[in-house]
Amino acid sequence: MQQTLVDDVSFSGIGVHSGKETKIIVRPAPENHGIRFRRTDIPGTPDIQAIFKKVVDTSLATVVGEDGSIVSTIEHLMASFAGLGIDNALVEINSYEMPIMDGSAENFTSIMVETGIKQQKIPKCFFVVKSPVRVDAGDKFVEIVPGTGFKINCSIEFDNPLIGLQELSFDPDLDDFFQDISRARTFGFIRDLEYLKKFSLGRGASLENAVVIDEDRILNAGGLRYPDEFVRHKLLDCLGDFSLLGMPIQGHIKTNKSGHALNHAFITKFLKEKKSWETKPVIMKL
């Protein structure tokens, strides 16, 4: 069955690019509402549906927009909704960028679990994959194939001794989203952070909300939360991006070196290839 929250939950923090303090309130929503964002600082603007056709930018984060109103960096909260199987919620936000929190989805996930998730009266509807769909960009790709339940495999490769080649699979029937995925933080190189700040981006980035790499060392005092935290965060981002299909998936996804832009290109192609999938209620855990 579809699910929503038992009660309101709120979060506050700075936007990683804007550096501005932001507050959000996540409210329960009725069946078939989906996930929607509402800018409370711009009265009268329409709610923005968290679906692929509302994506307006994928250069540094996933950004959705409607009639000139945008909400940026939604992927971590969307990953929490996907990982917890929450289908319906209204996210009220008083700025244009989501709070980055600690750079992971742990805060969102833990508070929503603590508040409670409730079943609703209408079944979930799933994209059931019937034949493969793939999008390539050089040595990068995203593909999906038919399969029982939902699984995702991500691989990354960086020319850096701390990262190198990493690969991870996640199956919600076997793995724990909160313990295994939600705590993985976004990461970047100190040289990139300095570059972003030259263009008035990354104003809120710090060692408190990102894993920062300086050549062959981690600058964060506590080090990594997982030996392969980098690929775990990449998988977290993918869960958030693929949730913009608007319905959960029954099929197996594999990505290699993908990012927000390639994930969005894949979603666009997937939805165009209508013979490759069908939608129907399916009893499964997601």
Catalytic positions are: 260
Radius of gyration (Cα) for the chain, nearest Å?
A: 18
Letter string b/e over residues 251-280, b meaning 16 or more CB atoms within 10 A of that residue's CB: bbbbbbbbbbbbbbbbbeebbeeeebbeee
Q: Which residues are paired to 65 by β-bridges?
A: 70
d(CA 235, CA 60) in angstroms, rounded, equals 16
Q: Which two tokens stand for residue 227?
A: 């030996």
